[in-house]
Amino acid sequence: SAVISQKPSRDICQRGTSLTIQCQVDSQVTMMFWYRQQPGQSLTLIATANQGSEATYESGFVIDKFPISRPNLTFSTLTVSNMSPEDSSIYLCSASLTSGRLAVGAGELFFGEGSRLTVL
């Protein structure tokens, strides 16, 4: 299993500012992902954090708005840039370990507790 720590757990930000969320995993994982979840809504995949290279973004998400880093196997950051009230959400870091029966990346997802951002 993997334990994921995220910080900050919550923050209130001003419009136009940027905030970086940190994600630390207690073991080496193969895949790391960033999701966004509006209260009461589904989990929307923002991007796959790739170690040592540019993240892979999903449709509707761009690097200039959500720059992501993953310098090693256990740490990743997500920055929400030039924030607007529409960016108010819970941002979740998740990680996957390789399963013996599955190819890399399709294993169980572990989630951090999330970072609740409120943009005024």
Partner 1 sequence: QQPVQSPQAVILREGEDAVINCSSSKALYSVHWYRQKHGEAPVFLMILLKGGEQKGHEKISASFNEKKQQSSLYLTASQLSYSGTYFCGTALRDDKIIFGKGTRLHILP
Q: Is the dihedral of CA 101, 50, 71, 114 positive or negative?
A: negative
- Minimum CB distance to partner 1, residue 53 (Å): 14
Considering only residues 51-90, where is the footprint of partner 1 by CB under 8 A?
none
Residue 48 contacts partner 1 per CB under 8 A: yes
Which residue's CB is nearer to partner 1, number 32 or number 119?
32
Cβ-contact 29, 95 below 8 angstroms: yes
Strand 68-72: give its sheet, edge to edge.
Answer: 4-7, 19-25, 75-80, 68-72
Span of 19-27, 66-74, 80-88, 94-102 interacting with partner 1 by CB under 8 A: 94-102
